[in-house]
Amino acid sequence: MDKYQQAIAASKVTGDDEVVKAEVKKIIDEAGKYASKETYEFLLHSIDLTTLATEDSVRSVQAFTEKVNSFDNDYPQYKNVAAICVYSNFAEVVRNTLDVPGVDVAVVAGCFPSAQTFIEVKVADVAMAVMSGADEVDIVFPVGIYKDGDYERVCDEIVEMKRAARDATLKVILESGLLKTAEDIKRASILSLYSEADFLKTSTGKIYPGASLEAAWVMCQCIKEYHEATGRKVGFKCSGGVRTTEEALQYFAIVKEVLGDEWLCHDLFRIGASSLANAVLSSLEETEVKYF
């Protein structure tokens, strides 16, 4: 076995889908106990506010960013979102428009959402995004290469993009709705972790089913095991279809129960969303709000 197969073989994280479902149900049945204004404020501050539309343009991205700029004045009682997430070619637009502290510039890169192009193109995309002002780069796990069983090439590609990202945070999107099974999500998580990913992210939210609680549980278990083995903390991001405060609260509960309070911070927990910000803001204000 090579080192990647050895890491997978050594893992104690379950790949049994029925066991995963049962464990998730235990957590979700009790998730309501975490509902509070403080939790909702944390959830709002954990959102990567996202626009990834075909019709995105310089003007539309500028307007999107200005909403985040205005939030500090319009809702000074709450912390702003964690980041603005856009296509890589708009990194400079966000960087030049954003004028509030504490909000990062995030991009999707590396031939999002398919990851299907030359590795040289992926690396160039990541490098150019960071040069243009990106603090965080979300790339897609190469599922096709993984399904061929070429784990070494999978990891080599992620490592190359990590190097191109330099000091920027690298989030690896597993596309868990395509991988489907707990075993495949576990294996993809381990390969990404040992390729120096800074975050594991569930989904692109584009073609395949988005985030699932079961995928989140498996990914968090892998992050926990990796941390125990290496001492390195890797973040978790759910994305794709998380639209309501209740849904966000369930992911919060999984992270809290599996990884603990240490992971409930800006640097280690994110939710990629667009409509969720309005939903959480509405929960805080106790009336419907359509701000973003």
Catalytic residues: 138, 201, 237
Burial of 261 (0-12, 13-18, 19+ CB in 10 A): exposed
- Rounded to whole angstroms, the Cα distance separating 108 from 86 reads 6
- Rounded to whole angstroms, the Cα distance separating 237 from 46 reads 9
- Rounded to whole angstroms, the Cα distance separating 138 from 146 reads 18
Please spell the DSSP secondary structure of 103-144, one letter per residue: -EEEEE-SSTTTT-S-HHHHHHHHHHHHHTT-SEEEEE--HH
168 and 136 in contact (C-beta within 8 Å)?
Answer: yes
CA angle centred on 254, ends 233 and 238, rounded to 5°: 70
207 and 214 in contact (C-beta within 8 Å)?
Answer: no
